[in-house]
Chain A
């Protein structure tokens, strides 16, 4: 099973290139799409979910162009958009039943069975008769997962699903996702590096519509071994060294000192200490180099 994006491009009517010739191959497992706000992640997600026509390029699922027969592809698709609402006055049960009908589960018995299962999976059993419009944010996201699981999708697209969730909810959510991601393609977009680090076996970094890199998280951090440094020197001070470096990020340490993380092939200064590379370093490196 493979999802293959070939030179996908999308240009909006105001001239903005939301996606710029992106090519990437995605195999079963969790695939993280990382990028800052406005990178084009949602546009890419919507395109793969057949909800937006690309201006150029193809998306192949098992060798078939998904845009030539969108309905067939949608049979294997589960999609959770970044922002979604629900019909008022509809219970979780009622709305899931509606979605199940849409997804082609024509037997009432089978619908009841699958709905039970997805409610259990997402721990919404106790509130199944409650109106979805009254759910908390986390419960709503779980409902979103529940609906996408109804048709046992092979391709799951979740667009920034953990945005706005508290740590407990987020953990629950990611656990559910991990569970279902083992045998299927799960394309998961986020701007939070730690989500990708935890879950994904493969990832891509996007910025300003362009694909900056595709790599697995482990390899990404491995490649930075011995090249990441920390220093308390400010950038203007660092500039005096002769070794080229790139500032990746900064943070305040426990002593309230501003500490910089930098990338350099060799140690740029004696005041720089080597540190273990993190995925964030790779991410920021990609963004900085772009």
Chain B
């Protein structure tokens, strides 16, 4: 028997433009996503590297999760609308009196809902399929078609998810008879997944079962899939996935069953007859007729009264939102998400961070901000539509209240809600800090960030939302437009649009550092905020013009009303705002593009042309830099520096050199001075490359001096060109001129005959002697590589002189900041830790790490060559790594200084570990530099990791060492899963395969050491070090190391050595 309700619902939607708009949009979205990811708009793809296939079953399922999230918007609309329609139009009053059964009615309604959701899923996936067709199998990202892959993505992941959420929305709307509840439910559902991921990130099976989207089940099912498997026809389905789907479908079914039993054909909602606390019997008797006239009421329409009225209306609207159960639910889930994300951010699984303010203002605030935006879209629509929805609009519109009072009360109410939400965020964040025993409350930072940087953006969304909802009386269409605006702003860059002036109310991420605050980019950020605020005001005025009261019969009438409102002051204000907006936009655009030359304006083409023309110079033999003499003057207040230097270049080859290729720093302005010893032959200004002809050729052993003057390029409001910060400067050697063509092949195959000629780190130098005089402003300390020889004050400048006592790698860092210092003399070495005030939590552990490393390595591998050793904290914005060794300096990120070591139990003692590891590089990575060949990282990182493990075990105990190994194993497995290329054996590891060099390396060497005996293994390391220490003529490869190993071990042990070092095998 046909279900007439089902057919009618389908028929209604098929006549609705909104259905086609949504379906069409998702089809286009999926098609464009597929095409964009496949490089359809980018031209031919370089297919020499292995790439991930987009149409493998793995990838199809992965992409289905992305669309599932976007389709939640559609679920919110379709999910409850079939039921809501009857309540909204009060047709249920008639329909429920018909002789139809409950199941006939509900199955018809729910069935149509689920059918439409299935249709839209099919349409979305067909967009992906069409994308695959258009990309074609010639595209390296497209493999042979797999219909089973589509079947799995659709029928295992996407459709079941939509069914589950669809049923939930259907039931919620059915119970509440409020369509908004659908939106709240889907938002909370998405947040629920986030919360689960942050609570159960270690209990993978539980997480896999509980995730309603099935995404974590998918991840678990494919956790051990490497790149090859991901590109294969393997189906990403296992028992866990099926269990998850069945569990959630069952849950949906049970929820529906409960709803079914509760549901009845009643006029009023299930909750309608909740006891009203003020319920009294209505007056039944005939009334006494009141005859006293009403007199002496003062009606006040003065400006003060109007403002008072405005405030009262605002409070009324504000209360109506914050008392709304949907709003409270959204807030609850939002704050729960913030809480659990914060937990994850401060507890990465490997270490815990102190809950510093900066961390709250990162990922947790981003998510919470999104929730505020979602609630703004929903509840501003509710405020706009409420009078019409409850048929009070005519009475309210006839009241003698001005249009601006009504408008501003709504804008004000939403702003008030947003402010309260931000205050609640601060409250929660500070509570979490207190619970964690952290009391460094940066109220100023919270207030500035939230109310100066975040709130204006929210305000503009507020006004935009009110404008859109006023213009489109259809609530769903309004939401769709707003969602499109928000999403569009994020996606413009994918379409090649870089300028911020077109990204609607979207601001780039502004990073905060304890050292440097927001840095110089704050100005640009504030300018962008002003730009969008002006537009927001323009929209607000526009809103007051299009706002109508009473009823209008056509758009024409609306325009007539709008036109009648355009008085002189209003028009002038609009024109003024428009001019301001355009002027600001022009200004921003100019500042974004300042100092762009034709070369820098099109960097891709510049690079292509450069490589074509200049590659031939890669074959020219170059001298080596052996001496570096620098004078650097840092001006932190102006965020600039100047430098002057001299290189001594020595011909260390057997050839005569008459041409020298120089590259200068990209962000610097460099003047080269050969002192008459060379002429410029050719230059490429865009790539800062210069070819010089020497006046007198350089014979083998000869030298020539190159002097240079450098100054930093001034920062612009939007781009940071100078790496000098107001506090926490961390400059590297790339500010200095370098020799030789740069786009050469690195990590040569082990079989290459030239492989031992060059070291892994640089071609233009072996070891150098460096002398630096560095100055900075009087409140800061400046540091350079080498030992401090002298320091003095000249006027308002501090001047320091450093010199390296031994030759070092061409690897330098120059620092300047306001620092606290801890000093300790250990053995013959003076250890200093420079850190920002308030960041001293972990200095003791860092010291312990250094001392242990000094002890261990000096005993085995020779005395530490410096009498001074420094750890120098740098802002986390300056580099993504936690620390590195540069001569006798260890620059360390502020992240490392903020680790909450008190919370560590089984976790690795990271400050200790990092310092022990970095100092070990003095011997393996500095004194011995490997060749520029594949596997170089094994000789630096793997060995260092193994030694760090030994230090760990010796000083912190075996249990900690075992934890260390466990973490390395996890690291290996995680990295293996993300591997895009081929997994190399350790002896040929690539520099980007850190999961192998660090993770597997530590385990491999530990295994070998255990097998052959630790003492013997250490002896072998000593031999290796002694043989290649300070070598410049012949740099070792992994082949040399393995040969050394095998020469000094028994034949039975060679198999083990090969297993770990020369073969690829998954660790168990």
Contacts and interface: CB of A to CB of B under 8 A. Distances in A.
Interface in B300-349: 300-301, 305, 308-309, 312-313, 316, 320
A105 B301 CA distance: 9
A52 interface: yes
Contacts of B300: 104-107
Given A85-B390, A103-B401, 20 more contacts: A12-B553, A46-B550, A49-B394, A50-B550, A51-B398, A51-B551, A52-B550, A52-B553, A53-B561, A77-B398, A84-B395, A99-B395, A102-B401, A110-B298, A123-B290, A124-B283, A126-B282, A126-B283, A149-B294, A176-B289
B294 A130 contact: no
A107 B399 CA distance: 17
Nearest to B401: A102
Contact of A74 (B289, B292, B399): B399
Interface string B384-425: 001000111011111111100000000000000000000000
B98 interface: no
Interface stretch (B257-265, B273-281, B712-720, B789-797): B273-281
Contacts of B402: 71
B391 A84 contact: yes
Nearest to B278: A129
A197 interface: no
Interface in A107-145: 107, 110, 113-114, 117-118, 120-121, 123-124, 126-127, 129-131, 134-136, 139, 144
The 9 closest A-B pairs by CB, nearest first: A51-B550, A85-B391, A123-B287, A129-B278, A74-B400, A102-B399, A79-B398, A13-B554, A75-B400
Contact of A52 (B305, B309, B392, B551): B551
B291 interface: yes
Given A46-B550, A53-B557, A168 B278 contact: no
Nearest to A150: B297
Nearest to A68: B564
B560 interface: yes
Interface in A203-250: none
B294 A129 contact: no
A37 B985 CA distance: 89
A143 B54 CA distance: 64
Most buried by A among B294, B308, B397, B398: B398
B400 A77 contact: yes
Interface residues of B, number: 51
Nearest to B304: A106
A276 interface: no
A183 B295 CA distance: 13
Given A106-B300, A107-B298, A74 B392 contact: no
A88 interface: yes
Most buried by B among A51, A88, A151: A51
A172 B283 CA distance: 12
B595 to A, nearest CB: 55
Interface of A: 12-13, 46, 49-53, 71-72, 74-75, 77, 79-81, 83-88, 91, 98-99, 101-107, 110, 113-114, 117-118, 120-121, 123-124, 126-127, 129-131, 134-136, 139, 144, 147-149, 151-152, 168, 172, 175-176, 179, 183
Contacts of B279: 130, 134
Nearest to B281: A126
Contacts of B392: 84-87
A154 to B, nearest CB: 12
B394 A46 contact: yes
Contacts of B560: 53
B299 interface: yes
B399 A86 contact: no
B294 A127 contact: no
A80 B276 contact: no
B280 A117 contact: no
B305 A104 contact: yes
B395 A113 contact: no
Nearest to B396: A102
Contacts of B289: 175-176, 179
A167 to B, nearest CB: 12
B395 to A, nearest CB: 6
B599 to A, nearest CB: 59
Contacts of A46: 394, 550-551
Most buried by A among B281, B282, B395: B395
16 contacts: A13-B554, A51-B550, A84-B395, A103-B400, A104-B300, A106-B309, A107-B298, A118-B294, A123-B283, A127-B282, A130-B276, A131-B278, A134-B279, A136-B282, A172-B286, A172-B287
A106 B305 contact: yes
Contact of A130 (B278, B394, B549): B278
B556 interface: yes
A117 B294 contact: yes
B288 interface: yes
Contact of B386 (A12, A50, A81, A87): A87
A79 B282 contact: no
Contact of A103 (B278, B291, B399, B552): B399
B290 A101 contact: no
A84 B557 CA distance: 23
Given A79-B395, A104-B299, A151-B299, A127 B283 contact: yes
B398 A74 contact: yes
A64 B122 CA distance: 63
B390 A179 contact: no
B280 A103 contact: no
A134 B269 CA distance: 13
Nearest to B557: A53
A152 B401 CA distance: 15
A147 B394 CA distance: 12
Nearest to A139: B282
Contacts of B557: 13, 53
A151 to B, nearest CB: 6
A101 B316 CA distance: 10
Interface string B137-153: 00000000000000000
A72 B552 CA distance: 21
Most buried by B among A101, A107, A136, A168: A101
Contact of A101 (B281, B309, B394, B552): B309
Nearest to B288: A123
Contacts of B281: 126
A66 B390 CA distance: 27
Contacts of A104: 299-301, 305, 309, 400-401
B290 A121 contact: yes
Contacts of B291: 179
B394 A81 contact: yes
B278 A51 contact: no
Given A53-B560, A91-B278, A104-B309, A99 B399 contact: yes
Interface in B575-619: none
A16 B580 CA distance: 45
Contacts of B552: 52
Contacts of B551: 46, 51-52
Contacts of A131: 276, 278
B402 to A, nearest CB: 6
A71 B394 contact: no
A152 B550 contact: no
A68 B392 CA distance: 24
Nearest to A183: B293
Contacts of B286: 168, 172
A82 to B, nearest CB: 9
A125 to B, nearest CB: 8
Contacts of B396: 102
A51 B308 contact: no
Contacts of B305: 104, 106
Contacts of A49: 394, 398, 550
Contacts of A127: 280, 282-283
Nearest to A75: B400
Nearest to A78: B398
